[in-house]
Chain A
Amino acid sequence: MEHLEFDQHTSKEYNNELEDVRNHLLKMGGMVENQLRKAMLSLKDKSFELANDVLAKGDVIDEMEIKLDGECTRIIAKRQPAASDLRLIIAVMKSITDLERIGDQAEKVAYVAKDLIQLDYQSPFYVEIDHLGQKVLGVLSASLNALARLDADQAVELVEKDEVINAHFRELNDHIISQMVKTPQAIKSLLHLSHGAKALERIGDHAKNICEYTIYLVKGKDIRHTDIQKVKDKLFD
């Protein structure tokens, strides 16, 4: 069972419902991605307006989560989905939780940006955190693409990339801590920076989750908490 088609049901209505759910999920993914991009930009450009914009849009994402959850519940009640349809619904329901969390983390980054602007903190760390942010943004974007294309191969690659992000975060955090030791007067700002970096690392974890759901959706196997090499051997020849 490699290829999935969600538009071949005898019931056209069912096709439409599944298609809607998928479209809404991808739309929500796009919105979340945009939030993160804007939050990073507000941090980099020290833009108060952009940060506020991100915070204002948070509610929209929450609403989308509730709406999608409702759609999925209705499909389960009405259609009793099985096999790939069931996996799609499960993957969507789980993914939106992660997307909503990513949205929250993006807001956190926006708060950090606002706090740092208020503290008028100047530092080369902005560039470093932006590096991490771009990396996370790339992974998130790729994860959403993998989900959209039901591309399990790409998803498994992305799961591996999470380690790279984690390593990058740890490295950045070490730098921040050593900077704290050096400049205790800037600890407040550095703590904010560290929080921002942590939020980015969390977003990476959520993106990884989405990739795992993608693999579950396509391959029908739950690979969470499993050694990635084993997964690759088993599912990807």
Chain B
Amino acid sequence: MVISMMNERVAELNLGIDMTQEIKQNGPDDSGILDVTYSETVGEYQCKDAKFSTRDVNVYYANNQAIFDVNLDVGRNEVIALIGPSGCGKSTFLRCLNRMNDTIDICRIDGQIHLDGQDIYAKKQDPVLLRARVGMVFQKPNPFPKSIYDNVAYGPRIHGLTKNKAELDDLVEDALIKAGLFDEVKDRLHGPGTGLSGGQQQRLCIARTIAVQPEVILMDEPASALDPIATAKIEELINELKENYTIVIVTHSMQQAARVSQRTAYFHMGRLIEVGDTNQIFTNPRHELTEKYITGRFG
């Protein structure tokens, strides 16, 4: 009884939206949700003190467009979570932020992405320098097949951040302490990094990233391959890191996004549907698609 009344309301609402700008989603129609019409991003995408600022970003893989007109600011020292169903473009967008997509030949990027007001896709911007400023942690823990020490020391070594062995030792120790791993590995710093557990490996990867002293850390589903306890440790680490770093995290776990982030951005079919305060997104999302996603109504 209630449902039928609500359905009438849905019909009314859809009619209202139909009159605004309507863009039919194209692509594989698998769940019926793709017929939902779409207009502009809901919510405040701008920040006063933006670290990253993206405007009208479009990404194409050969002839397929993966990202459509994304406008999003990332505030200084905030944790922003990018959520959305698989293939929604959140990882692609993340990888635009440190130009990791450069390695893919068929990938083409339109629009502006500014880091501290400077266009990172400008000709004079060097991707190596950019990646030293914007570190990245990947989905699968991927330590180098070297010792724990060498894993962390690799970044500082290639960038020449330290003058001598003692400084490098300090830097490695500092990074491991910050990553909450030092106590667990201090007796086997020269043991293999791949011999650690999955959670430890991921924290080693985070230590390796912060050893380069970046300004921003991008995390691409950093805990998706880990058990709940290791996940909790990573989340706690993110909480501590946000004091000093700006963190952009892509996650499939909505609870994780809710727990670690201050702002949440919801992507769907390559579009930024809604962005806003995490508390608001998880209690009272404004866009129907966001609501559907975070309450588990997508097939």
Contacts and interface: CB of A to CB of B under 8 A. Distances in A.
Contacts of B283: 82-83, 86-87, 220
Interface string A1-15: 111110111110010
Interface stretch (B1-9, B63-71, B153-161): B1-9
B294 A83 contact: yes
A195 B133 CA distance: 72
Contacts of B282: 82-83, 86
Interface string B259-299: 00000000000000000000000111111101110111111
A224 interface: no
B10 interface: yes
Nearest to A8: B297
B297 A1 contact: no
A150 B2 CA distance: 8
A148 B2 contact: yes
A1 B288 contact: yes
A2 B285 contact: no
A5 B284 contact: no
A10 B299 contact: yes
A83 B6 CA distance: 17
A81 B283 CA distance: 9
Given A8-B292, A80-B255, A82-B295, A220 B284 contact: yes
Nearest to B292: A8
Interface size class of A (residues with CB under 8 A): 20 to 34
B229 interface: no
Contacts of B5: 149
A44 interface: no
Contact of B3 (A5, A9, A82): A5
B296 A14 contact: yes
A2 B3 contact: no
Contacts of B258: 82
Interface residues of B, number: 28
Contacts of A10: 296-299
A84 interface: yes
Interface string A116-156: 00000000000000000000000000000000111000000
Of the listed residues B1, B2, B282, B291, the one surrounded by the most CB atoms of chain A closer than 10 A to its CB is: B2
B50 interface: no
Given A1-B285, A149-B2, A220-B283, A9 B10 contact: no
B288 A4 contact: no
A83 B284 contact: yes
Interface string A66-92: 000000000000011111111100000
Contacts of A149: 2, 5
A3 B295 contact: no
Contact of B2 (A1, A2, A22, A87): A22
B104 interface: no
A9 B296 contact: yes
A84 B291 contact: yes
Contacts of A9: 295-297
B184 to A, nearest CB: 30
A4 B13 CA distance: 12
Nearest to B282: A82
Interface in A1-56: 1-5, 7-11, 14, 22
B297 A3 contact: no
A5 B6 contact: yes
Interface of A: 1-5, 7-11, 14, 22, 79-87, 148-150, 219-221
> Which 10 A-B residue pairings sit nearest by Cβ, starting from the closest?
A220-B284, A3-B9, A8-B297, A82-B294, A3-B10, A85-B295, A3-B6, A82-B282, A83-B295, A83-B291
Interface of B: 1-3, 5-7, 9-10, 13, 254-255, 258, 282-288, 290-292, 294-299
Given A1-B288, A7-B3, 11 more contacts: A1-B285, A3-B7, A5-B6, A5-B297, A8-B297, A80-B255, A82-B294, A83-B284, A83-B294, A86-B283, A148-B2
13 contacts: A2-B13, A4-B6, A9-B296, A10-B299, A11-B296, A82-B254, A82-B258, A83-B282, A83-B283, A84-B291, A148-B1, A150-B2, A219-B284
